[in-house]
Amino acid sequence: MFAGGYAGASGGIPGRHKSSYCPPENLQIPKPAVPSGLRKSSSSNSGKMLAMTYSDSIRSGINRYHSDQGLNQPPAKPPDPVELQRVREQRVAAQIKNMEDFLKMNGLALEECVSYQTGMKYR
C-alpha cells in the first residue's frame, strides 16, 4: 500500500503501547459474615456471592442519575409574552438575513423569486 504501511495494522502510533487494563466483567461482592452467635435459618444462600457485571453497575448509576435529575427539576414558569415576541422577532430577522445572503450569493433579486411573486412562503 504505502511505504510506511497502514498505521492501524501495525498496532497504532509507534512508541506507544496499548493499555493492558481491562475492567473485570463480573464484580464479586462477598456477603457480610454472620457473627458466630447468630445463625441464618436458610443455609442455601450462605456460599453464594452477589454478582453484578461491570456494565450493569455503570448502567444502574446512570439510570439513578437521570431519574434524580427528572425528579429535581424546578417548576416550569409560564412563558413571558414580551420574551416570546422578542424571540419571534429575532427568528424572523435571522431568516430574512439568510435569504438576503442566499440571493446575493446566487445573483438573484427578491422579485425573481416564486415565493415573492405568488405570496407563498414555500413552493
Q: Is residue 52 part of a domain?
A: no
Identify the bridge partners of residue 118 per DSSP, sorted by sequence position: none
Which of left, alpha, beta for 5 (phi over 0: left; psi -120 to 50: alpha)?
Answer: left
Q: Is residue 102 part of a domain?
A: yes
pLDDT tier for residue 53 given thresholds of 50, 70 and 90: confident
C-alpha pair distances (Å), 93 with each of 33, 100, 117? 71, 11, 21
Q: Is residue 4 part of a domain?
A: no
- How many structural domains does the chain have? 1
Which of 67, 68, 56 minimizes the C-alpha distance to 27? 56
Q: Where in the sequence is the domain holding 93, given as residue range(s)?
A: 81-118
Q: Is residue 92 part of a domain?
A: yes
Which of 2-11, 23-32, 62-71, 74-83 is the least confident region? 2-11
Over residues 18-28, mean pLDDT: 59
The more confident residue out of 37 and 98 is 98
Question: Which distant-in-sequence residues (6+ apart) come within 8 Å of 116 by Cβ?
Answer: 110
